[in-house]
């Protein structure tokens, strides 16, 4: 919770509101993701997929990957360590 999650929510709402449904989220500078952050990622994954798009995760930390796995949602996302590959995966 807090500013980071509020900022992520607002950014995703704005992007999806402007018609962007294929999104790559760079997590390189995110040491940990809490349950509210996971909730945002899952909510917008569902809404982008419903519009024919998706959310791809780029460079999550090992702890972020472990956290996503612990709550069972890691397999919902495609994860990349290369931005170009992440973007190309939509084509």
Partner 1 sequence: MANDSTSGSANSEQRELLNISVPATASAIADVSDKVAGILLSIGIPEEKQLEIGLAMQEALANAVVHGCKNDPSKNVHCRLNCDGQGRIMIIVSDPGPGMDLRSLQAPTLGQNLYQDHGRGIYLIRQLMDDVRLERGGSEIQMWKY
Binding region for partner 1 (CB under 8 A): 1-3, 31-32, 34-36, 38-40, 42-43, 46, 63, 67, 70-73, 76
What is the rounded CA–CA span in Å between residue 29 and residue 67? 16
In terms of Cα–Cα distance, which of 17, 37, 2 is closest to 25?
Answer: 37
CB nearer to partner 1: give 1 or 82.
Answer: 1
Q: How far is the CB of 60 from partner 1 (least distance, A)?
A: 13
Q: How far is the CB of 1 from partner 1 (least distance, A)?
A: 5
CB nearer to partner 1: give 27 or 40.
Answer: 40
Q: Which DSSP helix (H) or strand (E) runs through 29?
A: none
CB nearer to partner 1: give 35 or 85.
Answer: 35
Q: How far is the CB of 6 from partner 1 (least distance, A)?
A: 8
């Amino acid at each position: 919770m807090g500013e980071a999650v509020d900022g992520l929510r607002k950014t995703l709402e704005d992007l999806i509101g402007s018609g962007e449904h294929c999104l790559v989220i760079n997590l390189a500078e995110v040491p940990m993701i809490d349950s509210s952050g996971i909730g945002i990622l899952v909510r917008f994954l569902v809404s982008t997929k419903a519009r024919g798009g998706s959310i791809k995760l780029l460079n999550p930390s090992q702890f972020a990957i472990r956290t996503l796995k612990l709550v069972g949602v890691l397999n919902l996302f495609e994860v990349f360590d290369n931005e170009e590959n992440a973007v190309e995966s939509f084509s």
